[in-house]
Amino acid sequence: MNSLILTEDLDANHIEEILNRAQLFVDGLIAPKLEGVISNIFFEPSTRTFLSFQIAAYKLGLHSLEFVTDHSSLLKGESFRSTLKTLEALGVDVAIIRHKADWTELLCNFKTNMSIINAGSGVKEHPTQALLDALTIRQEFGSLKGLNILIAGDIRHSRVARSNITMLTRMGAKVELSTPKMFYSSDILNIPWVEIDKGIEYADVLILLRIQKERHDTIYDFDFYHKNFGLTEERLLRLNKGAIILHPGPINIGIEICNKALNDPRCRILKQVSNGVPIRMAVLEKCLGGLS
């Protein structure tokens, strides 16, 4: 593997290998140093993914260059393909790309010796988020096999939902989805749907998704959403005692999640953020040839 564009390209062995390696970083058992240059090319805002790739590169001894999209020659009409070719010619080894469009087909067909990592594309893919979610779950339960995982929220607009469905089912978890009709999506109707009030009683993992207002073309009643579909204080009391709560962030407090849930002992949202660094170290290492 020298690129990571689609979650489905990771088989169970690849996933285990990356999670095992990331866990060694978490436990402080290895500190390899690599050579190379990475470039973060982000056309959409990001805090966690952007900074965790920067920190991962720093810890691995890699040089990191931020590609400032608003000051690049893209504004002079240079195509994205030409831009990538230019970065390759400049000596960039890994291009890490986030874009609001689903550019995965373009990226998969792009001929380059540079590694490409998908840091979020459209509503379809966010493979490193799925990896860090899998690591967070595995740290808690030892394995993902047989776990009941409930994904609840704005599924229609969520690349995290789609990458997680691929990753978690591949690792043997039982995934169910919960969302109101307005956030349904016909491309994932093969995954069982459940009422949130039922699903929270037996879920081992509750993954809440952000309501992605910036992708909506209709104005929704978010108070109604919270009351009927969000993790309210009342649902927090009924959530399976042994469950953990995940959310990829950023969170909308009072919409998909109540404030109280952030301080609940079952909440692992900041653990997810921390796990972003070792996962991205393992992915960078793998893309640069450090792993099989």
* DSSP class of 182: G
The amino acid present at 159, given as its one-letter code, is R
Nearer to ligand CP, 145 or 213 (CB): 213
Binding mask 187-226 for ligand CP (x = CB under 6 A): ----------------------------------------
Which residues on neighbouring strands pair with residue 67, listed in sequence order? 41
How many C-beta atoms lie closer than 10 Å to residue 143's C-beta? 11
- Stretch in the footprint of ligand CP (CB under 6 A) among 10-18, 40-48, 71-79, 195-203: 40-48
180: left (phi over 0), alpha (psi -120 to 50) or beta: beta
The alpha carbon of 202 is separated from its chain's Cα centroid by a whole number of angstroms, namely: 24
48 interacts with ligand CP by CB under 6 A: yes
Residue 248 burial (10 A CB sphere; 0-12, 13-18, 19+): buried
| Number of residues forming the site for ligand CP (CB under 6 A) | 10
- Residue showing tokens 């929220």: 153
Out of 120, 153, 199, 230, the only residue in the binding site for ligand CP (CB under 6 A) is 120
Of residues 234 through 263, those in contact with ligand CP by CB under 6 A are 248-250
Smallest distance, ligand CP to C-beta of residue 288, A: 22
Longest dimension (CA), the chain: 57
Nearer to ligand CP, 36 or 120 (CB): 120
- Stretch in the footprint of ligand CP (CB under 6 A) among 16-24, 41-49, 175-183, 261-269: 41-49
Q: In what order do the strands lie in the sheet with 63-67?
A: 63-67, 37-42, 94-99, 115-121
Measured CA to CA, the distance from residue 276 to residue 287 in angstroms comes to 16
Which residues on neighbouring strands pair with residue 174, listed in sequence order? 148
Smallest distance, ligand CP to C-beta of residue 235, A: 23
Smallest distance, ligand CP to C-beta of residue 76, A: 28
Of residues 125 through 144, those in contact with ligand CP by CB under 6 A are 129
Nearer to ligand CP, 180 or 249 (CB): 249
**What does the binding site for ligand CP look like in residue numbers (CB under 6 A)?**
46-50, 120, 129, 248-250
